[in-house]
Structure 1
Amino acid sequence: MSLLKTENVVMQFGGVVAVNDLNIDIKKGELAALIGPNGAGKTTAFNVITGVYAPTKGKVLFSPVDSVGVTNEIDITARKPNKITNLGIARTFQNIRLFKELTVMENVLVATHQNVDFNFLSATLRLPKAIRGELKAKQDCELLLDRMGLIDLKDEKASSLPYGQQRHLEIARALATDPQLLLLDEPAAGMNPQETDELTDLILKLKTDFGLTIFMIEHHMDLVMEISDHIYVLDFGCTIAKGTPDQIQNDPKVIEAYLGVDADVED
């Protein structure tokens, strides 16, 4: 069953076509990857999916399961990012975007605001409903931090964490929105080999323990090939290949896009 689809998506900035005729189909429960050289249009594709950009052409379709277990396909093309988050899509970014001066717990609590069932007035007046809601939010965040291995750091400032743990915290904050689809934009960027191995284990754990569908952009090919079910390859905004890791590793177009061709070699 498809969870996310794009239909002939084009994203054009003036005369530059950043994404051209993008068609992806992410199945529920799948771990898919979007790869390609720098400047291929990968982050632009994520920005279209999450409502940062309205595509020049095409559609983005999302099929979440609602509270009573019914799946409905929703056209989320050009919806505002907060509305898309409310539907069940969360993301992280290439550059970590934590609130550096807030604690680990506060960073995660910020992401729960959309799920609370009390309003500003009841919170200001400290009405029982608001107090109960705040307590539940804190309990849920503590459980999440525990599962992410960050519970012992909950009172530490985000800026004091090592780089790898900051990445984990950013993922925890995304999970606090209770997503069905998690988009990870280069989660291993800047990590050393040990941190990358820990991240690989974490991503697999998230998929299993949280029942998530995951779609990631990543340049670390060992990570991509090890854990992906399906891979899409972009080059200059166009999809040049899609398939399993084995198929992608042996695709001549992918090899050419990454390694180039020798100008002195003739056919």
Structure 2
Amino acid sequence: MSVLKVDSVVMQFGGVVAVNNLNIEVEKGHIQALIGPNGAGKTTAFNVITGVYTPTKGNVYLNNEKITGLTPDKIAMKGIARTFQNIRLFKNLTVLDNILIANHLHVKSNFISSTLRLPWSKAEERHMREKSEMLLNKLGLLHLKNEIANSLPYGEQRKLEIARALATDAKLLLLDEPAAGMNPHETMALSNFIHTIRDEFELTIFMIEHHMDLVMEISDKIYVLDFGQLIAEGTADEVKNNPRVIEAYLGVEEDAEN
């Protein structure tokens, strides 16, 4: 069953076509990846999926519902969450506060009820705190709940960013280069972490990643972009042995006579 469908999407900025006729399907429960050289259009594709950009042509569907043109907050409420290549935490707030803020996506209290501390508003706040602590406990971060986010080691900050995305009750998680800046030990831990959250929270995961060892190890299916064009798709073995993929990453040797 397809959770996400990108159907013939074109994203054009003036005369520049950043994504050209992109077709992607992400299956429920899968970990799938979008790879390609720098400038291939990967982040543009993510921005189209999450509503940052409205595509020039084509549509995006979540569980067969068209979400093209919806704002990022509306798309998040429908169950898509994302992280970013550069970690975007509330760095001067605690770990727990970062999770509590994400929980507010589905909060029903308004400014007046919160200010007056009405009973149902207080009960909702207590529920959010309990839910946030339960999430941190599941992800092995509860012992850090009072730590300032910016004081955490890099790998733990990345985990916190993913935990904050999960706090929105997402069912489709988009990870934008989750292993960026990590050493081999942190990358291995991240691989285990991604598998754990996929199973624990019954997630579907779609990621952009340059770390090929990570991509090849955990991806059920891989899509390859080059200059905004999809040039290959398939399993890890199919993709890594594809001549067009090899050419896109390594280039073509010039004729020896030149």
| CA distance in 1: counterparts of 2:158 and 2:195, whole angstroms | 15
| CA distance in 1: counterparts of 2:99 and 2:194, whole angstroms | 18
Q: Please, what is the CA RMSD of the aligned residues?
A: 0.9
Residue 98 of structure 2 aligns with an amino acid whose one-letter code is N
Give, in angstroms, the shift of residue 264 of structure 1: 1.7
Residue 253 of structure 2 aligns with an amino acid whose one-letter code is D
- The match for 2:34 is 34
Q: Stretches of 4+ moved more than 4 A in 1?
A: none
Question: Deviations for 1:159-209, whole angstroms, at most 9, x for unmatched residues?
Answer: 101111110000000000000100000000000111101100000001111
- The match for 2:167 is 176
- The match for 1:152 is 143
Question: Of 211, 217, 242, which aligns to 1:226?
Answer: 217
Give, in angstroms, the shift of residue 265 of structure 1: 5.3
Question: Of 236, 240, 243, which aligns to 1:249?
Answer: 240
| CA distance in 1: counterparts of 2:87 and 2:231, whole angstroms | 29
Q: Is the counterpart of residue 24 in structure 1 residue 21 in structure 2?
A: no
- The match for 1:107 is 98
Residue 104 of structure 2 aligns with an amino acid whose one-letter code is H
- In structure 1, stretches of 5+ residues that fail to align are 64-72
Q: Is the counterpart of residue 198 in structure 1 residue 162 in structure 2?
A: no
Give, in angstroms, the shift of residue 114 of structure 1: 1.8
| CA distance in 2: counterparts of 1:222 and 1:158, whole angstroms | 28
Q: Is the counterpart of residue 47 in structure 1 residue 47 in structure 2?
A: yes
Question: Deviations for 1:108-153, whole angstroms, at most 9, x for unmatched residues?
Answer: 1100112223222111111110111011100111011111211111
Residue 28 of structure 2 aligns with an amino acid whose one-letter code is K
Instruction: Output the TM-score relative to the length of structure 2.
Output: 0.98
| CA distance in 2: counterparts of 1:181 and 1:208, whole angstroms | 13
| CA distance in 2: counterparts of 1:118 and 1:74, whole angstroms | 28
Q: Is the counterpart of residue 8 in structure 1 residue 12 in structure 2?
A: no
Aligned residues: 257
Report the secondary structure of 2:174's partner residue.
Answer: strand
Q: Is the counterpart of residue 240 in structure 1 residue 213 in structure 2?
A: no
| CA distance in 2: counterparts of 1:265 and 1:147, whole angstroms | 58
